[in-house]
Structure 1
Amino acid sequence: MTVGIQRSPWHRLRTQLSGCLLLGALLPYLLRVATLSTLEVIGPVQETSAGAVVAILFGVWLLRNVSPYPGVEAGGFILPAMSLSYAILLVVFLLARFDYSRITLLLGFLGSLAWLFFSHYRAQREQQLRIGLLPFGSANSRPEVAGVTWVSLGSPDIDVSGLNAVAADLRVDLPEAWERRLAEFALNGMPVLHIKHLFESLSGRVELEHLSENNFGSLAPVSAWMTLKHVIDWVAALVFGLLLLPALLVVALAVRLSSPGPVLFRQTRIGYRGKPFTVYKFRTMTVCAEPVDARSAAITRAADARVTRFGRFLRRSRIDELPQMINVLRGEMSWIGPRPEAEVLSRWYQSEIPFYLYRHIVRPGIAGWAQVVQGHVADVDEVRSKLHYDFYYIKNYSPWIDLLIVAKTIRTMLTGFGAR
């Protein structure tokens, strides 16, 4: 249970429940009632709202009892917990042949998800944890994580009453006194966590010690989600492409008028399974002569003089990335995934960084975990750090982390975080 781990007000039970009940039950009920042509059909809406209350109570209870680790990983249980709870409610409605409102049910589900993701994000930002650390194995090195104070536990008899959790390298042989003490902690409700797993959840990174398997013990991501995601990507690209076509034409005209050169920027990048492909973006730089050093030319520096005034706006808002919907339709990219690197940079990083090729095991994305957490990078040391985030995304490849990236991407578009 995470009751003893998080102390942020955003993680309290009453905060989670009150927000979910407001956005997932009361607000959908009021909106649906306001659109009814006659109050004679209000019965199904009332039954649906009452069922939503039960689903919320069960979903929040389930969420708080299956999330053992604080940090990013805890957010991974929000979608499964609420989906299961609302799925059970839908099955009950169908089997009992109750009249229910589909719109009210859908709005309740989306409202509950939105609040839980928002409160989880705020809890992460405000968390202040004191975690005891056993001085054995990899736990000897204290990882720097914002909001976490590490307390060295030098003796099994030390007082741990002021701690939120105890972390240890559970893959090494611990002294018998410590093994007994850890068992006592667990029996008394004190969370005992594996230090490597804890660091990954707190930081959203997977260190490059070795190729890291996912939770199913495989290097490859779950193929079922990869296939379904590919279909969702294609449909979404087609729909958004048609809806945004007029706006994209206006942006294209503005790019053409802002500086001489083509509207679209084309560049060869390395994609899924290491195959090169041509990426499309709105041009944001002035057109220069063929560079002598292709590798340096492929790197965008901070305050790069080649970026046009209108190009800075496009980069800051990420509008320059939208033509990559073409790449999504062609099956070369996804909406969410590790950002594809220019071919010349990718070959360079591959020669300098172990396991770099592994990031190509999933389709590259228009938005990625490293991009929304770390921002734009170029130097080898920065790319090595970026790869930690890419590996975390691949290890936790699932709908929940994609939803989290979507939420962070919206924040990025509004704030311009990481743009160059």
Structure 2
Amino acid sequence: MTIDHESVPRPGGPLSARRLLGTELLERPAAGPRARPAPQVGRHRRPLRSRVALPAGLLGCDVLALAAAAALTTPGPPPLAAALLGLLLPLNLAGGLYRSRLTVSALDDLPALAGRAAVSTAFAVTLAACLGRFVPGPAALFRFAGLLTAFTLLACLGRAAAYALLRRARRRRPSPTLVLGAGQLGQRIAAVLLEHREYGLRPVGYLDSQPVLLAPDAPLRLLGGHDALESQIRRKRIHHVIATEGAADDAATAAALRTAARLGCRVWVVPQLREYAALGRRGTDQLWGFPCLPLERPAVRRPGWVAKRALDVAAAGFGLLLLSPVLAACALAVRCDTGPGVLFRQQRTGLDGQAFTLLKFRTLRPSNEHESATRWNISQDHRMGAVGRLLRRTSLDELPQLWNVVRGDMSLVGPRPERPYFVMRFGQAYPEYQDRHRVPAGLTGLSQVNGLRGDTSIEDRARFDNRYIESWSLWQDAKILLRTAVLMLHPDGS
């Protein structure tokens, strides 16, 4: 279930971590700022009203439209209209009809509104018929068709009014915006924003790490490189960041965008290759004809993360209660094998590069703290007794980490935590390794269930861990937990 032993490959093939830590890694230079643990970043968020005004207004439009349509068509008893509302709003929310966008249009929303209203109506009619509250007939079905038509038209009219008010508010109070990339595309995007204030974005300057010569009469100036992003966001109270010039493919720019997202900014990417917009990605927007792709919010800021934390606490707490006899038996066996101090405490690196104390059952007693912090692998240590080998082989020594989950130091699913010493070493070799700390560490993770445990590649493991973070969902967590349970039936001691 858990992995504490890793290796780093050399370009021509795999290289054990023990050899690399002793020779090759010590000779490699640091990879710049990303080689250090990610700092604790204070968030600088947009004002609450600017984030909730549009979604709340659109939600209110739909509620009023449905109430007015029900009053006009009288399709059935009030509970039926309530059931229709209860089905329609979640469908609209899942379809992104309440999200904030750069380009807003009631006609763009019309097909999605009509389709989801039809699905909700069908479910409501079926539910009412099953409960005996409604007897289908030609007249009743005709009234439901009228309800559907009336709601769609009224909702579109309400959204048209809401969008008109939104454009007016955006012109009056545009949000400060940074443009990453001062090249030709970046300057054209800035010109569009200055000319078309209905987008609600007011560019305040460029950030570009490459030397750029701007015209003397240019309306915006270069504020620095990517390393000035955080200071400029705080100084100018930036709410939006727009990246240009192939930013999605540039590692330094990608790191800057992640920093902006952690600070609470809304991040957009304008790709040079327009065909990116044809991929049909959900949420694709446009700025005066330029395709504009929104960067997904960090996983820890999505609504589902609250459910993940609740699941962690409930499952870990229940696991501690259910496995209390097993925990007691393991503690007694460790006490008899290694003497007093059945719990082994070790510093590990978690969310945002912050250290926490990880708990395990002791499988051997290290000679000193330095050995505990810097020795790579103890699986073949002659000091480990039969009890320790059994605990490690069955992963029972990891059970106390359920308490780390309850405390909030870890999650059930996430990148496996490593000791700060090795985090520094691996971060020097592979800058992507530091990106694993965007979410809390986990008992198990995507890399582990794909066989990347034991003496395997650090580079591959970091790639899988970052893939997990960038595509996170509750269902993905459930799949990883199920696959972990299957793997635990065939323990291999790693």
Please state which band the TM-score falls in when normalised by the shorter chain: 0.3 to 0.5
More relative contact order, 1 or 2 (CA 8 Å, 6+ apart) = 2
Q: Which has the larger radius of gyration?
A: 2
After TM superposition, the score normalised by the length of structure 1 is 0.47
After TM superposition, the score normalised by the length of structure 2 is 0.40
